[in-house]
Amino acid sequence: MTATVHQLNVSSGGVPKRPVEQATLGIEGLAGDGHDHPTIHGGPERALCLYALERIDALRAEGHPVEPGSFGENVTVRGLDWDAVLPGARLRIGATLVEVTRYTTPCKTIAPSFADGGFNRIHAARHAGWSRAYARVVEGGEIARGDPVEFVKSASES
């Protein structure tokens, strides 16, 4: 199965981020996307937030009312080996190229996406493999729903 962009998500600030069919990806992230706390979110090293649809589906199966975009991710991917999305990995998303910089730290703004408000369910240090990932933009351009997503370089190839 080829990995694809399931959904692109933007907002003027905060969560949830809402779906768009396509967007321009630049050094600061997706055009039209904003952040309530720009000193914490956004910037060149956190330009894009990524998450896996399969993790969202698993969290729903646990009873959490999560939807794509409700965690604040800009790109919800489907079919990608999420366990291999590690800092240093490079991903081609459509015509663009991004490099994973680090895992995100969840905060209380995403608590409504959890049945018990326990947003640390997706904290990398507590639940390895369940965190969202931040990425910097190596090559910008247009991306759209349905675009292929593939590893160009794994983290172990650094």
pLDDT tens, position by position, for the chain (158 residues)?
A: 799 999 999 999 889 999 999 999 999 999 999 877 666 667 899 999 999 999 999 999 999 999 999 999 999 999 999 999 999 999 999 999 999 999 999 999 999 999 999 999 999 999 999 999 999 999 999 999 999 999 998 777 75
Domain residue ranges of the chain, discontinuous segments joined by +: 4-157
Q: CATH 3.40.50.2300: does it fit domain 4-157?
A: no
Question: Shortest CA distance to 3 belongs to which of 120, 91, 62?
Answer: 91
Give the separation between CA 127 and CA 152, rounded to whole angstroms. Answer: 26
Q: How many CB atoms lie within 10 A of CB 57?
A: 12
- Does the pTM surpass 0.85? The reply is yes
What whole-number distance in Å separates Cα of residue 2 and Cα of residue 59? 23
